[in-house]
Amino acid sequence: MQVLVIGGGGREHALVWKIKQSPRVEKVFCAPGNAGTGEIAENVPIAADDIKSLLDFALQKKIGLTVVGPEQPLVLGIVDQFEKEGLRIFGPNERAAKLEGSKSFSKDMMDKYGLPTAEYKTFTSPENAADYIKTKKGPLVVKADGLAAGKGVLICQTEDEALAAVDSIMGKKSFGEAGDQIVVEEFLEGQEVSVLAFCDGQTVLLMDSAQDHKAAYDGDKGPNTGGMGAYSPAPVFSEIMRQKVRDKIMLPMIRAMQKEGRVYKGILYAGLMLTKTGPQVLEFNARFGDPETQPLLVRMENDIIPVFEACIDGTLGQCQLGWKEESSVCVVMAAEGYPGSYEKGKPISGLKEANALPGVVVFHAGTKEKDGEVLTHGGRVLGVTATGADTPTSITRAYEAVNKIQWQGIHFRKDIGNKAGN
């Protein structure tokens, strides 16, 4: 079988790495890919949102399975287009992907079907949003309704910060059209955890837990990013909690989507806050998380291809997932200035030395290869991932690898995984 992975980040490198291990896979293509995917697959210079060109390529190469990494092509309806041509593709269709494509739709679904989530209101007028904020005591969370690459969520400690967030999103259009509508919601306290599940429209099969680190700086300070690192499993997510989340959040959402005529197949990813009153949904995403995918896939024991196919075919109930007893940690190495503006084209050294360390896999994100040299080509550049007998061992290994890698202007958090011990 020939497989096409769509996307060019760390998540896609990890997917290519895992898919390549399947005895059923003959060749993997990655569009557009990065310097890391180019070492183990054939990169195809087609943008992830160029659906027509991707479709033409898949038909021409007789691709047996396409796996979609990022959210944008899903929201644009890539699954519908591929299925119309008889191609097998893993991911939710356009109607189902709206669960990530619109935060107000997602919150309305949770409200309608009684899923636990923060109190909220949706606004299309900045004046109305400002009036509402003035009636609330902070902190509040202001969210752009549409896709904003994981950065459209602003946590505001004071009324002034919340009003500034509304002005930034709706007035200054800092996230473009994604901010034409916003959601303002109460701030939830607790530990965050990411729960990803395979879905076939009726059944959910939860992966092991992972914890992301969204803030740019140590101690969860600074602006939200696409994610500065993650580890798996998260000790705070007990087996009892797992069952509760499956039965009270994941299954009800899949059934709700089915009732609404939006049959959900693919990955359902819930960002949860574990509050004193129980788990509450911060948001739903319609695809693998990045960077959670990296520490999860290095721990997954089974062949991932039959699971993808079972989701497409509606036979997920026959599948089981196996997980290594080991822990894993992924440290994101970013460009200086991320999540704001940053420079590209910096030569990276030390990749071979880092990859040679025991238990380490360096997943590329924002990189490109030019004349035999690997250069920085994005905000999040690498996801240095390590496994070990326990989380402290994985942390030590990951940072040992991080310290072998150099380029001009590196930024990374030094506390990834520390929450596992808290």
Peptide bond preceding 23 in cis form (omega within 30 of 0): no
Averaged pLDDT for residues 278-293: 95
- How many other C-beta atoms lie within 10 A of the C-beta of residue 415? 15
The pLDDT confidence band at residue 224, using thresholds 50, 70 and 90, is confident
Whole-prediction pTM: 0.95
The CATH class, in words, for 2-91 is: alpha beta
The H-or-E segment that residue 186 falls in is strand 182-186
Is the bond leading into 339 cis (omega within 30 degrees of zero)? yes
d(CA 359, CA 344): 29
- Please report the pLDDT score of residue 148 as a whole number: 84
The fold adopted by the segment(s) 125-180 is Dna Ligase; domain 1 (3.30.1490)
- Amino acid found at 94: E
Amino acid 140: pLDDT: 96
Taking Cα atoms as reference points, which of 80, 84, 62, 75 lies closest to residue 4? 62
Backbone phi and psi for residue 117, each to the nearest 5 degrees, phi listed first? -155, 165
pLDDT digits (tens, 9 = 90+) for 101-146: 999 999 999 999 999 999 999 999 999 999 999 999 879 999 999 9
Amino acid at 81: Q
pLDDT score of 137: 85
What is the rounded CA–CA span in Å between residue 169 and residue 189?
Answer: 24
**Residue 416, both tokens:** 């990834």
Q: What stretch of H or E contains 119? A: none
Give residue 382's pLDDT: 98
Q: Report the percentage of the chain scoring pLDDT > 70.
A: 99
User: What is the overall mean pLDDT for the chain?
Assistant: 96
The tens digit of pLDDT for each residue in 156-185 reads 999 999 999 999 999 999 899 999 999 999
Separation between Cα atoms, residue 286 and residue 76, nearest integer Å: 12
What are the boundaries of each domain within the chain? 2-91, 125-180, 191-318, 327-421
Average pLDDT score over residue span 52-73? 98
Tell me which CATH homologous superfamily contains domain 191-318. ATP-grasp fold, B domain (3.30.470.20)
Dihedral sign from CA coordinates of 145, 209, 393, 364? negative
User: CATH top-level class for 327-421?
Assistant: alpha beta
pLDDT of amino acid 345? 97
Span 84-107, pLDDT tens digits:
999 999 999 999 999 999 999 999
* Domain 125-180 shares a fold with domain 327-421: no
H helices of 246-378, in order, are 251-259, 293-297, 305-313, 351-355
Residue 80, burial from CB neighbour count under 10 angstroms (0-12, 13-18, 19+): middle
**Which one has a higher pLDDT value, 385 or 154?**
385
Buried b (16+ CB within 10 A) or exposed e, 370-385: eeeebbbbbbbbbbbb
pLDDT tens digits, one per residue of 321-355: 999 999 999 999 999 999 999 999 999 999 999 99
